[in-house]
Structure 1
Amino acid sequence: SKIVDVSRVVDSSKIKQLIVIGIGGSSLGTKALLGAIPSSSVKVTFLENIEKEMPELLSENYSEVLVNVVSKSGDTFETLTNLDKLLAKYPQLKDRIIITTAHPEKFEGYAKEYFLPIPPQVSGRYSVFTPVGLFPLSLTGFNILSLLEGAMSARKDCLQEGSANPALVLAVVQYFHYIKKRTIDVNFFFHPTLELLGKWNNQIVAESLGKNGKGLTPLVSIGTTDLHSMIQLFLDGPKDKFTEFVYCKKLLPKEDLPVIDGVKKSYENRKLPFISWEFDDLTEKSLGYYMQVKMISVVFLAKLMGVNAFDQPAVEEYKKYAKENS
C-alpha cells in the first residue's frame, strides 16, 4: 500500500525515465529481474559505482523522470556521492526523488511522503521482495504481484519436510559437495538475459557464506558462449566445482537444446556433480519462485556450515577504514 501511495504522489503513469541510485543488494535484484524481463515503456539507468559523468535525461520535462535512491543504512558512500553529483547537474530533480531506506532521518530536506521503508530485520542482499525491488519494478510495468505470488509459492514449498522442500534439497546437496572440497559454485545460464541473475546470486552466496574461513566461491557462466572458453576447465580441470545449469527452453533456439543435453551427458560421463533448473516459461512468477528458493537454500546452507547468513563483518570492516581515509 505504501508503494501505491508513493506512486500516486509522483504520478508514476507519466514516468519515462527511472534512475536508480544504489549498489549491492540495493540494485542487484532489480537489475536481475529487469534483465530477464526488460521494460518496454521506461528507460531504467542504474548508478552503482561512482560515475564520472551523470546520465543524460531523455526529456526536459522533469515530471517524466524519477530518481529512486536506495540505501538501507542511509550512508552508503557510493550512493550518496552519485546523488550529490546528479543533483549538481540537475538540481530540478530534487523534487523527483524517492528514497528507500531504513533510516529516513539521515536524509534531511525530503518530505515523509517521498520515503519508502526497508524492514530493519531484512539484510540488504535479501531485500528484492521489499520496496527495494518492488517499487522500481512497479514503475516499469513489471508485474510485482505475480513476482510475489511466485515467491509465496516457493515459501510454501520450502516449509515442507524432506525431499518435498526444494531449498533444503539444494542446501543438503551443496553441503555434501562442500565437505568433499567442491567449493566453487558454477551457475551456468543458457541465455544472456539471465546473466544478471548470476550477479545477484554471487552476492547472496558470497556475503552469506564467506565467513570464518568457510564459504563457496560463486562463478557465473553464459551458454553457449562459455562452452568455447570455460567448459574445458569445468570438464577436465580440478574437481572442485558444483554446477547449476539454468535455462528456459522457450528462450532458446531449438539448435541449443541438443547442445545442453550434450553438456549434461559429458558431466554424467565424468561423474561431475550438477543440477538443472529448467523454467517452463520465463515469467515474473517463475522468477519469484526461483529467487526465493535460492535465498532460502543459502540460509539453510549457512546453518549447515555454522555461519550467520545475515551479517557481513568483513564488509563493515573495509567500510570503516574507507571512512577513516576519506
Structure 2
Amino acid sequence: MYYQKLINLQAQKSSNNIGLNTLNYLKKLRGELPLFKLVDQDNDIATIASLAAEIKSNFKDVIILGTGGSSLGGQSLYALTTAGAPRLHFHDNVDPDTFLKLFTAIDPKTAKVIAISKSGNTAETLMQLLVCLQHWQQQELEIKNHFLIITEPHENAIREVAVRHECQTLDHPTDVGGRFAVFSLVGLLPAIICGLDAHKIRAGARYVLDEISNTTEPEDCKPLLGALLQKALLSHDINQSVLMPYVDRLAVFAMWYRQLWAESIGKDGKGTTPIRAIGTVDQHSQLQLYLDGPKDKFFTVVTMEHSDNQLKVGDHDFEHSTLTIFKSKTMGQLMQAEQQATIDTLVNNNCPTRVLHLNKLDEEVMGALMMHYVVETLAMAHLLEVNPFDQPAVEESKLLTRHYLQQG
C-alpha cells in the first residue's frame, strides 16, 4: 500500500530492547485502545451513510464548523474528492471577514450547518455557531432543519444551544480524542457526504494495525521505525520534523499531521517540532534554509506516480533551452523530476531523509497513511515517556481568552 525508504540516514540505532519494548506497547494498544477498536468495526457506517444521504438530497452546501481535530481530518479526506454537490465548506477559524464572504457565497435556504466540538465548550466553534444561527434566523428559516451538532453525550454549552433550537445532535466518542477522531463520524460523515467510501478508509487503517500484530521485529514495523529514527536523531540535535508531500491533495493532511504530532508529544520540555511543507511550492521558499541552514531537521518526502498524460506539451518551435526541455513532456513528468531532485539534493547535503512513496491515492491509501502517522505518534510518545492523549499546557491560553472577552 505504501513503502518506506531510508536514504543515507545519519543517526545512531536505538537499542533493540527499546524497540521491542515499544513494539509490545503498540501490540497491547492494538487490542485495547478505543480508537483501534473503532476501526475494527463497520456497523456504524450504515447509520452515518443514511444521514449523509439525507443531507445530500436536501442541501447544496454543507458548512462544517469546528477547529483542530474537529476539522482537519474531514478536510484531509475531502481533498480526495472531485464531487461537485453538495459543496463542503470547512471553517476552522473566527476571522469575521471569512464568514461575511461565506454568507454572500451561499444560500442559507439550501445550506446545512454541522458544528463539531468534542468538549462542547470550544470558544471558536461556539462563536461560529452563534453567528450562523443568527444569520439563519434573520432569513426566518427553521433552525432545527438546517443545523446538526456533534459533541460528547453530556451537558455542555453546545448541547444547550442544540436543545434550545431542537437541533439533531450526534454523540462524539468520549474515548477518542479530537485529533484522533478522523476515523469516527467526525471524519467519516463529511467523507461520505462528498462521495467517499468509509469502509475503504477504515480498511486502510486496519491494514497498518494488522501489520503491527504480525510484526516481530521493530525494524519491520514501519511507524515504529520512523519513531525510533527520530528519537535517535534527537541526540544529534535534530529536533524538527518536516513533512513535504509532492501531492496537492495531501496539503491539508500535512496540517492534520502537524496538529497530531505537536499536541501529542510536545510535553515536559520534550518533543520535535512538526513543519508542514508542500512540493514543489516550498522549493522556492524553504529549500534554501533546509539545505544551507541549521542541520536540525528530519525530512519525510511523500512522493507519488504522476504519470497522467492528459496535460502534455506538444511539439513547438521555441528555441530557448529552458523551453525546449518541455517538448513532448507532461506536467506529471516535471513533478516527478522535481520530487526526485529534492530527495537527491537533501541526501547529497547530508540531511536525514525518509521517502514515503504512493503508487496511488484513494480512500484506502489515505486511511493507511493517516493510521501510519497515528501509530508513529503513539510510538514516539512512548519513547519520550509522555502522555499522547492530553494537552495540559494550552489551558492557560483558553482561560485568558475568556477573561479578555469578558473584559472587552
Instruction: Give matches, 1:68-217, under 5 Å.
Output: 68-91=114-137, 92=141, 94-95=143-144, 96-103=146-153, 105-106=155-156, 107-108=159-160, 109-110=162-163, 114-159=168-213, 160-161=215-216, 162-217=218-273
Deviation at 1:49, TM superposition (A): 1.3
1:27 to 64, 71, 75: 71
CA distance in 2, matches of 1:305, 1:115: 38
Q: Is the 8 A contact 2:303 2:339 kept in 1?
A: no
Secondary structure, counterpart of 1:242 in structure 2: strand
Q: Is the 8 A contact 1:21 1:83 kept in 2?
A: yes
Q: Which has the higher contact order (CA 8 A, sep 6+)?
A: 2
CA distance in 2, matches of 1:113, 1:211: 38
Confirm or deny that 1:243 pairs with 2:299.
Answer: yes
CA distance in 2, matches of 1:268, 1:275: 10
**The structure with more radius of gyration:** 2
Provide structure 2 residue ranges, at least 5 long, that are not aligned to the other structure: 1-43, 308-330
Secondary structure, counterpart of 2:103 in structure 1: coil
Amino acid of the structure 2 residue aligned with 1:148: R
Give the aligned partner of residue 56 of structure 1. Answer: 103
CA distance in 2, matches of 1:30, 1:190: 20
1:59–1:243 Cα change, 3 Å: closer
Give the aligned partner of residue 307 of structure 1. Answer: 386
Q: Is the 8 A contact 1:39 1:142 kept in 2?
A: no
Deviation at 1:229, TM superposition (A): 2.4
Q: Is the 8 A contact 2:64 2:71 kept in 1?
A: yes
1:3 to 33, 40, 48: 48
Deviation at 1:38, TM superposition (A): 4.1
Q: Is the 8 A contact 1:3 1:116 kept in 2?
A: no
Deviation at 1:268, TM superposition (A): 2.3
Aligned-residue Cα RMSD (Å) equals 2.1
Secondary structure, counterpart of 2:290 in structure 1: helix
Amino acid of the structure 1 residue aligned with 2:336: L
CA distance in 2, matches of 1:250, 1:158: 30
Provide structure 1 residue ranges, at least 5 long, that are not aligned to the other structure: none
Amino acid of the structure 2 residue aligned with 1:34: Y
Secondary structure, counterpart of 1:250 in structure 2: coil
TM-score by length of 2: 0.74
Percent pairwise identity: 30
Deviation at 1:300, TM superposition (A): 0.5
CA distance in 2, matches of 1:58, 1:49: 17
TM-score by length of 1: 0.92
Cα displacement string for residues 283-326 of structure 1 (whole angstroms, at most 9, x for unaligned residues):
01100000001011101001101111110001122112222333
Give the aligned partner of residue 33 of structure 2. Answer: none
50-59 or 303-312, which deviates more: 50-59
Instruction: Give matches, 1:276-291, under 5 Å.
Output: 276-291=355-370
Q: Is the 8 A contact 2:181 2:187 kept in 1?
A: yes
CA distance in 2, matches of 1:275, 1:145: 29
Cα displacement string for residues 37-59 of structure 1 (whole angstroms, at most 9, x for unaligned residues):
34322211122211423423767
Secondary structure, counterpart of 2:182 in structure 1: coil
